[in-house]
Amino acid sequence: MIKTVINYFFPKNIYNFYFKDLDRLLKNSSTVLDLACGKFSPLKNCKKSFHSVGVDIFEPYLVESKKKGIHDEYIISDVMNISEKIAPKSFDSVIALDLIEHLSKPDGIRLI
């Protein structure tokens, strides 16, 4: 029953639009920083024409992501402390997909 409801509101084709839009937004990037990439980053479904670095605080997710070859490099870090590990303006694009809703409002504003 719940699967039927989910498929009604979120048809599978919506994901195709999501990934196509992500491809479009990143097409002119040479480098992409993926904050809180997890083990199933949306970048796995994109045409990758850039160097990507995945960041997550949970090392087992990075191990799984690395096995799938989603990113070129990985950094274990809390995203709120990423400025200690990454120089400012060192990436063309930064994505933080499905992340901000897990932060407090002040942390979300600080991250942005």
Token duo for residue 23 = 């491809």
Global pTM exceeds 0.75: yes
pLDDT by residue (tens digit) across 22-44? 999 999 999 999 999 999 999 99
Q: List the one residue out of 64, 103, 63, 68 whose CA is nearest residue 82.
A: 103
**Residue 25 DSSP code:** H
Sign of CA dihedral 5, 7, 40, 92: negative
- The domain 2-111 having CATH identifier 3.40.50.300: the answer here is no
pLDDT bracket for residue 69 (50, 70, 90): very high
Which amino acid type is present at position 41? Answer: S
What are the sequence ranges of the domains in the chain? 2-111
